[in-house]
Chains A and B, each alone.
Chain A
Amino acid sequence: MGSEGAEREALGYDVVVVGGGPAGLATALHLVQQDGGEAPSVCVLEKGASIGAHLLSGAVVDPRGLDELLPDWRQRQAPVWVPAGQEVFRYLTGRRAWTLPTPPQMDSHGHYVGSLGELGQWLAEVAEAAGVEIYPGFPAAEVLYDDAGSVCGVATPDRGRQADGSPGPAFEPGVEIRARQTVLAEGAHGSLTQAVIGRFGLRREAQPQIYGLGIKELWEVAPERHDPGRVEHTVGWPLDTFTYGGGFCYHLDERRVAVGLVVGLDYENPYLSPFEELQRLKTHPAIRPLLEGGRRVGYGARVLPEGGWQSLPQLSFPGGVLVGDAAGFVDVPRIKGIHTAVKSGLLAAEAVQAALTEGQGEAADLGQRVEQSWLRAELRPVRNIRPAFRWGLLPGLAYAAAETYLLRGRAPWTLGHEPDHRQLKPAARCRPITYPKPDGRLTFDRTTSLFLANTNHEEGQPCHLVLDDPEIPTRVNWAIYHGPETRYCPAAVYDYEPDAQGQQRLRIEAINCLHCKACEIKDPAQNIRWTVPQGGDGPGYQGM
């Protein structure tokens, strides 16, 4: 959808940041924080109705990034104040739980348990007070290029288009935000990021990105079960040994406990349902007692990049840079990406500032700045751990131990990745999985869960999930894989219904979408495109 039929207004800034998460806000704040000379004008666009509405993480926060961004964050009452305490790492079988030695990467000493959404809201307040302009409810839907082919800003989507794409009575064209530098901080698998990576070939020397799908519930537990700061991780059951993933229980303040499961999207069995696996995980005897007598107050899902160091694309391009999860800065063995997102934002701000000052179109030294920072020192040595789990859970754990204790990250080789969408096996070659029915107290169905994500999309707008070929779901997804999107989607967006000829047709309930991006990543035929809906739509997470 272009701007046909209406002139778009254009606004100018030095820097436009796409996405109000930790990476984008850190970049914006650090740009206006720098001493000497006039601060650049910075505008942050956020697709959620408010900052934090689309943020979701565990989260155990390593404060290293915050320490550099705002050394006095503790005095400023940042909402990260539950020190991580008792820590447990367990291997689960159907009925038993074995405590494993906590790997050094998972040591949470000096870390904090908190909510990324609340941290984001606070960072946004600090950034606004420092002079950053932040506009929630206004996504960037289109990259703007100048005559030389460089990125020169972004455009917000049109509003008030009808389902067929034609302008409705309240039609309001999008706005162009033109900027000397565009910072893409959209989070994992951002739609503009994907376009820019493709156009400039930023992945030429990098491995494909791979992802995990994180599904999380927020519970208010009985007071006697609450142990603020407690951090639990599990591997094993309910996932089979060849499916990468693990569970977590983090105790926040105010009786809140975050319970979740991350499943590697390189799983092979199309019958697998990450949502139902989380429901099963909660019934394990090691977890059930924690939640019994409590109530679930939040639900959400989001993919996270798991490719690690070898999957980082080139970080700069003519007219802009990539930061945070959009680039893939997650320390996978530590399952932490907030401190790395903040750090990548700091480095990007410095590189962008230098490019602005020197009048260069590309902050080309960003890659070098990352190479010389602790990001490389943290991410590169652990690069082989995640890919080793393709050999199975126990070999993966053994390899991880060998890398950590014997090779100490100095292995002369680097393991590669295969894109997640190529991993599914035909349904005929896989064992169907029967999941137990939800009980409505501890375990739930998707529809009930969505209610707690406060998700909504204004009705009557064009469907933001687009099929390149509407026949492929019937011919490929259903015929070969038995409709895997009905199971991997944590938001019940996809469903199959027989048409008049008895053919199974895909039905898309885009209104439910949680913007997790799993479908665009996992769809075996790469036929589903996630486009940006009208501003303010999507989930309304609180404290996630």
Chain B
Amino acid sequence: MKVLAAVKRVVDYNVRVRVRADGSGVDTANTRMAMNPFDETAIEEAVRLREAGTASEVVAVTVGDAGSEEVLRTALAFGADRALRVESDAPLEPLAVSKALAAVADREQPDLVLMGKQAIDDDSNQVGQMLACHLGWAQATFACAVTPADDELHVVREVDGGQRTVAVALPAVVTTELELNEPRYIKLPSIMKAKKQAIERLGLAEIAVDGSPRLELLGVSEPPPREAGEQVDSAAALVDRLKNEAQVI
């Protein structure tokens, strides 16, 4: 089985982002970037499938600018065999990303595409679903367990109020939850090795994908600051304040 794992470079989850003063977006200059945590579980799962002998090759792919090759190096350090970047200097919308990944899938012919259920920067949660649609493949989203069984995969999905196990025929697209696995600590020697590996590149034009935006961003703003709390002396005072001042009871 050949696995394609899609990864995205996002602002590190520990970083508190700042909205630009003019409200045109989030300031990412000099901001610490990292692999989208959901994609980490996807690449980890792909490498585990290969280590278990189920997968024969793991190819990591990302869509982005030259800086995003950093997450491909991380993917190689996790244990991916090859890495490929679809070049786009401007950030793409989910539809264009899904088309780019579909073109890559056409060239690579994987049996399984693994990717995070969403990226923590725009939280769109669309690319996996749209990719399955472009390819006409089966899809299993929100995976928290993946078990290969003959020509299909048994995938436990996180759904409202519980879990649902589905069987999908291959080829398929599976999007991952954080509960799927605990990504390994990357070894320093693996990072050193990954630095020296080649990364393949593919232009958007080469795969005939139109990256022009279809959405217009009107503005980005921070949530209003919360008023500071106040400590009251007694339960009676609390009830009084809730009743008469806040008027919630």
Contacts and interface: CB of A to CB of B under 8 A. Distances in A.
B14 A135 contact: no
Interface in A156-184: 156, 159-160, 169-170, 172, 175
Contacts of A24: none
Q: How large is the interface on A (under 10, 10 to 19, 20 to 34, 35 or more residues)?
A: 20 to 34
Given A121-B30, A172-B187, A11 B192 contact: yes
A451 B12 CA distance: 14
B21 to A, nearest CB: 7
Of B16, B184, B188, B195, chain A has the most CB atoms within 10 Å of the CB of B188
Given A169-B182, A454-B14, A135 B191 contact: yes
B31 interface: yes
Q: How large is the interface on B (under 10, 10 to 19, 20 to 34, 35 or more residues)?
A: 20 to 34
B14 A456 contact: yes
A170 B182 contact: yes
Nearest to B189: A9
A540 B191 contact: no
Interface in B41-60: none
A534 to B, nearest CB: 8
A412 interface: no
Given A50-B32, A118-B30, A138 B188 contact: yes
Given A11-B192, A133-B192, A440-B228, A159 B16 contact: no
Given A11-B192, A542-B32, A175 B187 contact: yes
B18 interface: yes
B187 A454 contact: no
Interface in B184-213: 184-185, 187-189, 191-192, 195
Contacts of A452: 16
Contacts of A156: 188
Main secondary structure of the interface of B (DSSP, over half): loop
B32 A53 contact: yes
B61 to A, nearest CB: 24
Nearest to A133: B192
Of A50, A169, A297, chain B has the most CB atoms within 10 Å of the CB of A50
Contacts, number: 57
B73 to A, nearest CB: 12
A268 to B, nearest CB: 33
B236 interface: no
Contacts of B182: 169-170
B218 interface: no
B231 to A, nearest CB: 11
Nearest to A9: B189
B194 to A, nearest CB: 12
A292 to B, nearest CB: 16
A206 interface: no
B15 interface: yes
A220 interface: yes
A175 B189 contact: yes
A175 B188 contact: yes
B188 A540 contact: no
B30 A543 contact: yes
Nearest to B191: A135
Contact of A540 (B32, B189, B225): B32
B43 to A, nearest CB: 15
Contacts of A121: 30
A49 interface: yes
B185 A542 contact: no
Contacts of B21: 220, 255
A133 B189 CA distance: 12
B18 A297 contact: yes
Contacts of A160: 185
B108 to A, nearest CB: 30
Contacts of A159: 185
A9 B187 contact: yes
9 contacts: A9-B188, A172-B184, A172-B187, A220-B21, A255-B21, A451-B16, A540-B12, A540-B15, A542-B15
Interface of A: 9, 11, 49-50, 52-53, 117-118, 121, 133, 135, 138, 156, 159-160, 169-170, 172, 175, 220, 255, 297, 440, 451-452, 454-456, 540, 542-543
The 7 closest A-B pairs by CB, nearest first: A172-B185, A159-B185, A175-B188, A456-B14, A50-B32, A440-B228, A454-B15
